[in-house]
Amino acid sequence: MRVREGNKEKAIIEAAIKVIAENGYYGAKIHKIAELAGVATGSIYSYYENKLQIIFAIFDNVWKELYEKLELVEQDAAISPSQKLEALIDLVFNLFTENQDLALVFAHEQNVLIRDYPDKFTPYFEKFIQTGQNIISQGIASGVFNPSVNVFILRKYLMGGISGCIQAWALDPSSYSLAEIRDQLKLLAHKGVNI
């Protein structure tokens, strides 16, 4: 019996994030991913069924982690709705601050993947979004958020805005720090542009 040499599965995922971040999903060639991961081209296929499953795995990891963390925040009655909304923004920004390539993959590929394979995309994303929606609803119920805000539209707006900012940052990280962007987002989400 032979055993697997090391954590090739993880090496492949990490290589894939890097190659997809640089070239996009269609521009990311399997042989490039294999090369960067330090495995043979064919080995990819003993860990993942095909190219699509690799990017699905990337997003599954991301949203599973974010959902589980947000869930803990959402259930904590000691945290105010405003703080929970900020925690949501922090969670996303902290992850992408740690992994810039992942931020690019998120910003460029997720929407297209959801369009093309709505039923195959990780369910954790929808769970994360749903939890965010619950936080807004709590804020409205407790009288701190504006009840005329439509939570469904807000979630699309907020996620779109986060995505737009992260993407701009990832393309030119020198312009503004993610920390600054994060704080601006909190301001805009809470109070908008008006004084």
Partner DNA sequence: ATTAAATTTGAATAGTGGTTCAATATTCAC
Partner DNA sequence: GTGAATATTGAACCACTATTCAAATTTAAT
Applying CB under 7 A, which part among 48-56, 89-97, 98-106, 173-181 lies near DNA?
A: 48-56
Q: Please tell me whether residue 179 binds a second copy under the rule CB under 8 A.
A: no
Residue 136, interface with a second copy (CB under 8 A)? yes
Output the six-digit token pair for 152. 């469904």
Per-residue burial over 154-165, b = 16 or more CB atoms within 10 Å of its CB, e = otherwise = bbeebbeebbeb
Q: Does 171 bind a second copy (CB under 8 A)?
A: yes
Query: Which residues, including other chains, have CB under 8 Å from residue 52's CB and lie 6 or more apart?
Result: 117, 120
Which among 24-32, 125-133, 139-147, 165-173 is the span making contact with DNA, rule CB under 7 A? 24-32
Asked if 195 touches a second copy (CB under 8 A), the answer is yes
If the CB atoms of residues 37 and 113 are measured against a second copy, the closer one turns out to be 113
Handedness of CA 97, 99, 100, 106 (dihedral sign): negative
| Binding partner of residue 30 among DNA, a second copy, none, CB cut-off 5 to 8 Å per kind | DNA
* Interface of this chain with a second copy, residues 137 to 166, rule: CB under 8 A: 139, 143-146, 148-150, 152-154, 156-165
Neighbour-count burial for 79-92, b at 16+ CB within 10 Å, e otherwise: bebbebbbbbbbbb
Which one of a second copy, DNA, none is in contact with 39 (Cβ closer than 5 to 8 A by kind)? DNA
Is residue 104 within 8 A of residue 170, CB to CB? The reply is yes
Q: How many CA atoms lie within 13 A of 184 on its CB side?
A: 11
Q: Specify the 3-state DSSP secondary structure of 40.
A: coil
Residues forming contacts to a second copy in the complex (CB under 8 A) are 24, 26-27, 85, 104, 107-108, 111-112, 115-116, 136, 139, 143-146, 148-150, 152-154, 156-165, 167-168, 171, 175-176, 180-181, 184-185, 187-195
